[in-house]
Amino acid sequence: MSFDLVLFGGTGDLTWRKLMPALFQAFRHGSLPKDGRILGVGRDPLDNAQYRALIQSRFDKVELAKRPSTDEFERFAALLHYLPMDLSRPADYARLAETLNARQAKTVVMYLATAPALFTGICENMAAVGLNGPQTRVVLEKPLGHDLASNRAINEAVLRVLPENQIFRIDHYLGKPSVQNLFALRFGNSLFEPLWRRETIANIQITIAEELGVEKRGAFYDNTGALRDMVQNHALQLLCAIGMEPPINAHADAIRDEKLKVLRSLKTWTPETLKQHVVRGQYASGSINGEAVPGYLQESGVNPDSHTETFVALRTEIANWRWAGVPFYIRTGKRLADRDAHIEVNFRPTPHAIFKTPLGPGNRLVINLQPKDGLELHLLAQGQDNRLGARAASQTLAPVQLDLDFDKRFGAERVGAYERLLLDVIDGRLNLFVRSDEQEEAWRWVEPILDAWKNDSNGPRPYAAGTWGPSASSGMIARDNYCWSEEC
C-alpha cells in the first residue's frame, strides 16, 4: 500500500525521540507497508542527504536495542525525505501539495508533531491547497488545548476541514501492550469480567510515577502542569479502559461510546470534595539514586514563584450500577521515588475468614505498564512452614504471586506504543485514538480542579525529590482505610 507520512516538526524532539525510532522498528519488523515515503517538514534549510544524516546522528541517543546498524539505516534512509517549510506561509503549503500530488499515494498521513497553537493554522492551510481529501489522515499530538474552551476551538477548526473519521488524536498510553492486554483480559476471557464490579472490588489505584524532573522542558511544563500533562489524558484513558462496559463489538465507535459513558459518569466536583479528594504538590530539592537534584523552582525555564503542580493525587468514583461506591485513586508526579506506572485492582476480602491471613493487601491484580510490562495476580495460599507445626500451618495462609512478564513471553514479537499507533494510522484503524467528545468530556471534568487552584493562594504542597509525594496523598487514601501499594 502506497503512503506518504508527513512529519510537521520533522527536526523536533518528538520526531527523533519517539517517531523515527518507532518507524524504524516497524521497518525492521517488516510491518511498515513497502511503498512508503516519510517526509520531514521543518524550518531548517536541509536537503534530503542532510536530513538523513541528522536523523542518523539522533539514533545514537536512543536505547541500544532500537539503534539501526549502518546497513539497516542505509535501507531505512531511502524512505526519508525533507521539505523546508515556514508553517505560517501559505505559499509553502502549495509546494507541499505539489510534492504530494506528484506521487499520488493511496494514503497521506499528516502528523502534527508541533505546538498545539499551530494545529488550526496548519489544517486551514492544508485545506486551502486541497490536502484534505478522503485519502488524508491528520494525527494530533497532546496536549490538545489547555482547557475546555481551547480544546473545543481546536476540534471545531479541524472538523471544519476534515471529518471525524480522518482525525487521529493520539494518546500513546493506549498503544502500550499492557493496555491492549487489559482489553483482552476483560473482554477476551470469561475469568475476570464476572468479578469486575462493586460487589468484589474494593478500590482501584492508577499510578504514573517518574523519577525524572522537567529536564529541558521547564518553560513548557510551567504552563502545563501534571494535571493537564498526565491526568486529563493518560490517566483518564486508563480509568476508562478499566471502568467501561463491554462494547457490542471491537469497532472504534463501539469502544469509544463506552469510554465516553465512563467520563460522563464520573462524580462531579463540589467545594468539599475538591478540598478533601485532590492533592497537588511540587517537588523540592532532594536525592534520586543517591544523587542530589534541584527543586522545581530551581529548574531552567521555570518561574521562581511558580505554583505549577508537578504532582497530583485524587479520588473519584464512577456513579453507575457497576461501580457505585468503589473509589478510584489516581496519582502522578515527577521526581518521585521510582519510575513506575501500574494499575492495581484490589479485591474485597472473603466474607467469612476460616484461615489466619497476614496483614496487608490481599487478593489483587496488578497491571504493570512501565518499566515492567505484564500482569501480576496476588493470592493467598497455604504455607508449609514446619516451625508452625502441622495443624497451625494448615490454618495459615501466605501471599503468593502469579507473574506474567510480557517481554519474556513474547520477546521479539513485542510492538512499542508509537509503532503500533503509527501503523494503525496508516491502516486507518481508529480503535486506539480519542474522539473529540471524549476529550471535551475529560476537560469538562478536570476544569473545576483548575478553577479551584486559581483561587487557592496556598499553592502546591512541597515534597522532597525521591519520595512518593506530599504526605497529604497518603492521608487522602487513608481516610477510606486504604493505602498506596508501597505503604501497605
What is the full DSSP assignment across 58-83? Answer: HGGGS-GGGPPPHHHHHHHHTTEEEE
Please give the Cα distance from 147 to 451 (Å, whole number): 10
Residue 58, C-alpha cell as written in the block: 539522533
Residue pair 475/187 in contact by the 8 Å Cβ criterion: no
Q: Alpha-carbon distance 177 to 160, whole Å? A: 34
One DSSP character per residue, 407-465 reads HHHHGGG---HHHHHHHHHHHT--TTSB-HHHHHHHHHHHHHHHHHHHT-TT-PEEEET
What does the CA dihedral 169, 157, 225, 243 come to, rounded to 10 degrees?
-40
Judge whether 352 counts as a catalytic residue.
no
- pLDDT (0 to 100) of residue 359: 73
Buried b (16+ CB within 10 A) or exposed e, 41-74: bbeeebeeeebbebbbebbeebeeeeebeeeebe
- Determine contact, residues 201/326, Cβ cutoff 8 Å: yes
Longest dimension (CA), the chain: 85
Pairwise CA distance, residues 12 & 120, whole Å: 19
User: Could you tell me the pTM of the whole model?
Assistant: 0.93
Burial class (CB in 10 A: 0-12, 13-18, 19+), 435: buried
> Grid coordinates in use for 407?
517481554
Confidence (pLDDT) at 61:
81
What pLDDT is stored for residue 39 in this prediction? 98
Residue 180 has a pLDDT of 85
Residue pointed to by grid coordinates 510480557: 406
- For residue 213, give the nearest of 322, 295, 101 by alpha carbon: 295
Residue spans of the chain under pLDDT 70 = 383-394, 411-414
pLDDT (0 to 100) of residue 356: 82
Choice among 29, 81, 146, 234 that is catalytic: 234
